Amino acid sequence: MGVAERLPRLAEFYGPLALPPVDPFGVFLWEVLGTRTTAGRREAALAALRRVPALTPDAVRKVGRGRLEAIARLCGPFADERVAAIEAGVDVFRRRRDLAGRLRGPLREAWLAARDLPHLGHAGALRVLLFSTSHLHVPVDAAVSRLAIRLGLAPPHANPRRTVRTVRRALSDALPSEATARRQAVLLVSHHAQATCVEIEPHCTVCPLLPDCAHGAARVAQGAPGPP
């Protein structure tokens, strides 16, 4: 069974997942606030920024550092790193007023512009493009690679970059091509990788994809525990 056929199970299991903001800076904030935390904590921090309101580079620039730190702490640990990343991103967007336009331009220029954004990495830069532009390339990070390999969608390689390329090709071919459907599919797959198919002690006994996952079936057969 392919990824597309498994998506309804994920949607039923997790319920509606909120898409990121539609503008590049909003997606940048969503990405920084969502690193090494849960979706719920990220959404709480975004909601706090909306109440300020501080969802543009100029508006965030006017927020006092103490208030910004308090909002970042809603995401849990690493608040100082989040604030530093947000401030670096604000500086980039304010200095390069044409950045949003470049991100929405031809793919080569858009990719170069996305790579200029600080603290994102390859997958984070692609997520900015996916959720805020018409460029629909599938972002693949370590969590998504792990999920794809466990489901047998792609073989592991000794070279991590080759693994990422293989997984990206497999998911690009399998996920919906229509923009909204692809974004929702990427969000579901990524959320599942981070919430259930975690690296250590994945929650295989409650996983909605267990019937099609040889890795999970083997763990359950060996008496793998459920979530704490």
Domain boundary among 109, 132, 155: 132
- Give 190-215 pLDDT, tens digit per residue: 999 999 999 999 999 999 999 989 99
Same domain, 87 and 150: no
Same domain, 32 and 107: yes
**CB-CB neighbours of 59 under 10 Å:** 14
Same domain, 32 and 91: yes
Same domain, 121 and 143: no
pLDDT at 39 exceeding the cut of 50:
yes
Upstream peptide bond of 227 is cis (omega within 30 degrees of 0): no
**Does residue 227 lie in a domain region?**
no
- Give 149-179 pLDDT, tens digit per residue: 999 988 888 888 899 999 999 999 999 999 9
Same domain, 81 and 169: no
Same domain, 124 and 37: yes
pLDDT at 34 exceeding the cut of 90:
yes
Same domain, 41 and 65: yes
Q: What is the CATH number for 62?
A: 1.10.340.30
Q: Quote the tokens at residue 215.
A: 């890795």
**Does residue 226 lie in a domain region?**
no
- DSSP 8-state assignment for residue 227: -
Number of domains the chain contains: 2
Domain boundary among 75, 101, 132: 132
pLDDT at 226 exceeding the cut of 70:
no
Q: What pLDDT is attached to residue 228?
A: 45
Above pLDDT 70, what percent of the chain?
97
- Give 113-141 pLDDT, tens digit per residue: 999 999 999 999 999 999 999 999 999 99
**Does residue 60 lie in a domain region?**
yes
Average pLDDT over the chain, rounded to an integer: 93
Amino acid at 53: P
**Does residue 34 lie in a domain region?**
yes
Continuous segment of H or E residues that includes residue 19: none
How confident is the model over 7-27, as a mean pLDDT?
94
Same domain, 157 and 203: yes
**Measuring CA to CA, how many Å separate 80 from each of 32, 48, 66, 170, 174?**
12, 17, 11, 37, 38
27 close to 131: Cβ distance less than 8 angstroms: yes
